[in-house]
Amino acid sequence: MNWKVIFILLVLLVAVFSYVSSLSGPYAPMGRLSFVKILNPDMSPGNPHSTLVADYAKDRGSNTVLVVHLAGHKTGYPNYWEGDVYIMELGFIDKHRGYSTNVDWFDVIQAFLFGVDDDRYEYVSDGIVFDNLDDALAYLDKKAAQNGQQGPRLMFWHGTVRSDNSIINQGCGVPLYYQICEHYYGRIGAYYYIITGIIFPYLNSPYRNFELMNSAQLQQNYNTGKLGKLAVG
């Protein structure tokens, strides 16, 4: 059998396996939300990325979304309403590296191949710090139920990049996204959802071209405290 046919069959098997697995899980992993910040405060009611998340949810019959982040502090990351869509946020705190937006490719490959150590991260949501992923996810389950979850809970990683190449660097939150996918859907499922998640904004984000064409200026504005209300087109 031709190796190309074998490869296609393997991809289809992984896709089917991941889709079937997702039917029994609490989250529908979508992928990367954005490339760079376009308005501060980000992920707050009325922000373009926040309203975009709400639109994605409505299009897919959901009223609950999780956006995961790299946490720069142990406060904040509040859960909030964007219209009638409940947006949950969860940040991870890397106890080994501290807060760093630079990519350590050795670390990325090691995590991709062997997973993440259980004691490496702390997690924060609604200003509450959790020392393990199970407790953090249980809290989000409770909040989703309290706020009338309907339909699948979509999940995104924030994806914004402060000063690096926003195409190569997958941005804010991707390690936590991978960890949650692995937690619910296994290593193969996590690989699948990372790959499809990288592709997601190129096919779905209305801000894709604006963010990529203006990424250097937007990053400079953010890092110098000049990021303000922008006319996005």
Alpha-carbon span 168 to 212, nearest angstrom: 12
Alpha-carbon span 25 to 34, nearest angstrom: 24
Q: In this structure, what token pair is assigned to residue 44? A: 């707050």
Alpha-carbon span 141 to 126, nearest angstrom: 13
Alpha-carbon span 73 to 127, nearest angstrom: 9
Strand-strand pairing, 80-82 and 85-94: antiparallel
Alpha-carbon span 233 to 228, nearest angstrom: 15
Q: Which of 128, 178, 133, 186 is nearest to 155 (CA)?
A: 178
Alpha-carbon span 135 to 166, nearest angstrom: 32
In tens digits, what is the pLDDT along the chain, a chain of 233 residues? 566 555 555 556 655 655 555 556 789 999 999 999 998 888 999 999 999 999 999 999 999 999 999 998 888 899 999 999 999 999 999 876 665 666 665 676 676 666 677 778 999 999 999 999 999 999 999 999 999 998 889 999 999 999 889 999 999 999 999 999 999 998 888 989 999 999 999 999 999 999 999 999 999 998 888 887 644 44
How high is the pLDDT of residue 92? 93
Q: With a threshold of 0.85, does the pTM exceed it?
A: yes
Are residues 3 and 177 in contact, defined by beta-carbon separation less than 8 angstroms?
Answer: no
222 sits in the region (left: phi over 0; alpha: psi -120 to 50; else beta) called alpha
Q: How many helices (H) and strands (E) does the chain have?
A: 7, 7
The distance from CA 26 to its chain's CA centroid, rounded to whole angstroms, is 15
Please give the single-letter amino acid code of residue 135.
Answer: D
